[in-house]
Amino acid sequence: MLKRVLVIKHDKIGDFVLMWPALYLLRHALPQASIEMFVSPAVKPFAEVCPYVDHVIVDNGNDEEIGEAISARQYDAILISQSEYRIYKILRHIDVAYKLAPKHNWYQYLYKHRANVQYRKGEPCWRGACLLVEHFLNHFGYSIPALPKQYWDKQAVRDKWQAYYEHSAGEKLIFAHPGTGGSSGALAPKDFAYLLTQINANTKIDCKFVLTFNGDEEALAQIINKDLQANGVKVVMAKPLAGLADFAESLVAADMFIAGSTGPLHIAGLHDVPTVGFYAGRRSAPKIRWQTLTQSHKRLAFTPPIGKKTGRNMALIDFDAAAQEIAQFLDTFYGEPQPLTSDL
């Protein structure tokens, strides 16, 4: 019986979020086991509140200390979701019988156990981590659980966080996050403000926009805030929270989250919040690869025209058409149901 499993994924926040389906599989296939993770320092507080993770080891940059920490845990298996030669050097002298690496790069051949993690065209990239876990579970004869519709149920604290973000009766809180992630270009503040203004003008829903930000993004949020106020749109700047874990939980307050492909957009997807993502226009289809974990009928995605010269120019997006589509979604999803009519 497997008692303790380590998953290695020391990357950015959005990448950690997209590990949750794989972690869900592990947690539910091995309910008695301790599921543990090796993560980057930035992700640590978030990993510690993940319902599928029991213990966290942090990448402090000291490979000798990391190796000692891993060895002391006496793992039955190590799943290497993020494979690097550095990781191999840390693990090579640790006595763990089953170390599973993805079939990536030449150093895959340094591992006895390897998994094909190439997801199919048209599938999101989070499937790769699931393929790694499914290979592991099949090897040990465990059934593959079905994935849920929602990965993080924090509905019990939704009212608390809606009050924190100054929600009033009848309003829908539409969160918007400036800045960008690795698979998108940045929306210019004037374009973002125009988009939100047009959404507000086109929807029948009573919207309040909540501008979230981190670090240098505050200056972008202030520009958007000023433009929205000048156009009579209800808007608030999000009040800073103590840390990433609180911020991640607080997004349960959102009725929609709008952003480029950033960590916060993906966190909103954990709550199954409707998401609107802006992605680069590439033939590799980042809007599919980096889609959120929100259910498909609650996901909207927009890109500029595909091409080397156009794909990262977010100003080429038709913001009027995008605003109309988003407003129509809000009206349909949150609007009052229409009474049935009869010809009798």
Same domain for 47 and 195? no
Establish if 301 belongs to a structural domain: yes
Q: How far is CA 336 from CA 9, 115, 173, 300, in A?
A: 44, 49, 17, 21
* Digitized pLDDT (tens) for each residue of the chain, 344 residues in all: 899 999 999 999 999 999 999 999 999 999 999 999 999 999 999 999 999 999 999 999 999 999 999 999 999 999 999 889 999 999 999 999 999 999 988 888 899 999 999 998 889 999 999 999 999 999 999 999 999 999 999 999 999 999 999 999 999 999 999 987 655 568 999 999 999 999 999 999 999 999 999 888 999 999 999 999 999 999 999 999 989 999 999 999 999 999 987 899 999 999 999 999 999 887 778 889 899 999 999 999 999 998 888 887 899 999 999 999 999 999 999 987 655 554 54
State the amino acid at position 344 in one-letter form.
Answer: L
Cα–Cα nearest to 88, from 72, 120, 66, 118: 66
Q: Has residue 318 been placed in a domain?
A: yes
Q: Longest Cα pair distance anywhere in the chain, in angstroms?
A: 81
Phi, psi at 216, each rounded to 5°:
-65, -15
- Residue 175 domain-assigned (yes or no): yes
Whether residue 14 is found in the same domain as residue 129: yes
pTM reported for the whole predicted model: 0.94
The answer on 215 and 103 residing in a single domain is no
Residue 118 shares a structural domain with residue 73: yes
Q: How far apart are CA 206 and CA 201, in angstroms?
A: 10
Q: Is residue 340 part of a domain?
A: no
Secondary structure letter of residue 49 according to DSSP = T
Strand partners, 44: none
In the listed set 139, 167, 183, which residue is the last one of a domain according to the structure? 139
Strands (E), the chain: 4-8, 34-39, 55-58, 77-80, 98-102, 113-115, 172-177, 207-211, 235-237, 256-260, 275-278, 299-302
Please indicate, yes or no, whether residues 261 and 173 belong to a single structural domain of this protein.
yes
Examine the fold and report which residue of 114, 139, 164 is the final residue of a domain before the chain moves on: 139
**Closest to 19 (Cα-Cα) out of 71, 62, 56:** 56
DSSP 90: H
Regarding whether 132 and 159 lie in a shared domain, the answer is: no
In this structure, are 187 and 222 located in the same domain? yes
Q: Are 212 and 327 members of one domain?
A: yes
- Looking at residue 120, its pLDDT comes to 87
Q: Give the pLDDT confidence score for residue 313 in this predicted structure.
A: 87
Contacts of 19 (CB under 8 A, 6+ apart): 7, 9, 81, 126, 129
Residue 145 lies in a domain: no
132 in the same domain as 59: yes
183 shares its domain with 323 = yes
Same domain assignment for residues 325 and 183? yes
User: What is the pLDDT at residue 344?
Assistant: 42
Give the CATH number, domain containing residue 117.
3.40.50.2000
Answer yes or no: do 285 and 218 share one domain: yes
Q: Considering the domain boundaries, does residue 343 fall inside one?
A: no
Predicted local distance difference test score (pLDDT) of residue 282:
79
Q: Which domain holds residue 45?
A: 4-139
Query: Which phi and psi (to 5°) does residue 302 adopt?
Result: -135, 145
Q: What is the tally of structural domains in the chain?
A: 2
pLDDT at res. 309: 83
Q: What angle do CA 202, 313, 291 make, to 5 degrees?
A: 70
Q: Is 33 left (phi over 0), alpha (psi -120 to 50) or beta?
A: beta
Strands 55-58 and 77-80: unpaired
Residue 142, pLDDT score: 98
What is the C-alpha to C-alpha distance for residues 196 and 158, in angstroms, rounded to an integer? 23
Last residue of a domain, one of 83, 104, 139: 139
The answer to the question of residue 150 being in a domain is no
DSSP state letters, 130-178: HHHHHHHHHHTTPPPPPPPS-S---GGGHHHHHHHTT--TT-EEEEEE-
Is the residue at 144 inside a domain?
no
